Amino acid sequence: MNARDIVNVEVEVLLSAIRERYGWDFYYYKRASLKRRIATFLHENNLKHVSELIPLIMWDKEIFEHLIHSLSVPVTEMYRDPSFFNALRNEVVPILKTYPFIKVWHAGCASGEEAYSMAILLQEEGLLPRSRLYATDINDDGLKKAEQGVYQLDDIKEYQNNYHKSGGKGDLLDYFRISSNKAIINTSLKHNVRFSNHNLIRDSSFGTMNIIFCRNVYIYFEPELQDRVTQLFLDSLAPGGFICLGSKESIHIENYPHELEVFNERARIYRKLYQ
């Protein structure tokens, strides 16, 4: 075995240690990005070999939690992929407008920027008062940040461009209170948004949604897990409900001939069929 093979073995042993000890299953996560993040974690903690992590996480829950947080990729933006949000606004929102009440699920919401992007969009379309947004993730640090709704002002300024390209109708900064270099999301936008911990691998359906966002999460999953999560979403959607994936993600629609249709291929929006 060469050094690379040994590292591969160490990674598998680490993942099963995590599973046996804590019940977290990373088995169906793609390895290349996991390995990269494990290597970064080792480097930051002055460790040399992946297997050195095993005794640490076995006996120290805090280290385990640090590891989990570094393994998940809570990197996000507001209005990431403006053309998607544009399609959402112009093609999906008119349908949502016909509903008396709108339930939205952001699965893998990281630090909340996507959920707040949607809240602002719904507000501009007059729909926020009758909407409820559930935003979930496995990364508690991200969820905490999301709940606080405090972001770097410079970041928000950078998102202004995205916001306008997505068809935003006002000034993004108007939705924040500025305090020195921080931008704090207006409380009125938080009322209808709930953040909570939910693991797509382990936890069950969330009730009946009208639209589910799961953007830039599938790219970390093996196809088997993607299929399982798609099934979870189908079980969590009202008839006619939407699934929105990231720009480089897709669902093999031919596997769901009686359940799903492509609503907007470029924007990666799918729709559950009425049966």
Partner 1 sequence: MMELRWDIILIGTSAGGMKALEAILPQIPQDFPIPIVIVQHMGPDSDNYLASLLNEKCQVNVTEAQDGEKILSGTAYLAPGGYHLLIENDKTLSLCVGEKINYSRPSIDVLFSSASDVFGEKTLAIILTGANKDGTEGAIHIREDGGTVIAQDPATAEVPTMPQAVVDAEAADHVLPLDEIAQFIVGKVLLYDRD
Ligand X SMILES: C[S@@+](CC[C@H](N)C(=O)[O-])C[C@H]1O[C@@H](n2cnc3c(N)ncnc32)[C@H](O)[C@@H]1O
Q: How far is the CB of 216 from partner 1 (least distance, A)?
A: 5
Both tokens of residue 155?
A: 């970041």
- Stretches 76-84, 116-124, 179-187, 230-238: which one binds ligand X (CB under 6 A)? 76-84
Are 126 and 98 in contact by the 8 Å Cβ rule? The answer is no
151 membership: H or E segment, kind and range = strand 150-152
Binding to ligand X (CB under 6 A) within 154-183 occurs at none
What is the rounded CA–CA span in Å between residue 167 and residue 152? 23
Q: How far is the CB of 53 from partner 1 (least distance, A)?
A: 18
- Our finding on whether 96 is near ligand X (CB under 6 A) is no
What, of partner 1, ligand X, none, does residue 139 touch, CB below 5 to 8 Å by kind?
ligand X
- Our finding on whether 7 is near ligand X (CB under 6 A) is no
| Three-state secondary-structure class, residue 217 | coil
Degrees to nearest 5, angle at CA 77 with 71 and 78: 145
- Our finding on whether 122 is near ligand X (CB under 6 A) is no
Up-side HSE of residue 56: CA atoms within 13 Å toward CB? Answer: 17
Q: How far is the CB of 262 from partner 1 (least distance, A)?
A: 17
Please report the sign of the dihedral spanned by the C-alpha atoms of residue 218, residue 221, residue 223, residue 225: negative
Which of 67, 110, 183, 189 forms a contact with ligand X (CB under 6 A)?
A: 110
Both tokens of residue 104?
A: 């939205």
- Our finding on whether 81 is near partner 1 (CB under 8 A) is yes
Q: How far is the CB of 29 from partner 1 (least distance, A)?
A: 10
- Our finding on whether 117 is near partner 1 (CB under 8 A) is no
What, of ligand X, partner 1, none, does residue 243 touch, CB below 5 to 8 Å by kind?
none
State the alpha helices, DSSP H only, in the chain. 3-22, 31-44, 53-59, 61-71, 82-87, 93-96, 113-124, 140-148, 153-165, 187-190, 223-235
What is the rounded CA–CA span in Å between residue 209 and residue 199? 17
- Our finding on whether 78 is near ligand X (CB under 6 A) is no
Taking alpha carbons only, the member of 230, 120, 201 closest to residue 166 is: 120
Which of 52, 125, 147, 249 forms a contact with partner 1 (CB under 8 A)?
A: 249
Q: How far is the CB of 165 from ligand X (least distance, A)?
A: 16
Smaller CB distance to partner 1: residue 194 or 248? 248
What mask, x for binding partner 1 by CB under 8 A, covers residues 196 to 225? Answer: --------------------x-xxx--x--
What is the rounded CA–CA span in Å between residue 23 and residue 261? 35
What, of partner 1, ligand X, none, does residue 142 touch, CB below 5 to 8 Å by kind?
ligand X
Residues at the contact surface with ligand X, assessed by CB under 6 A: 72-77, 80, 108-110, 114, 137-139, 142, 199-201, 215-217, 246
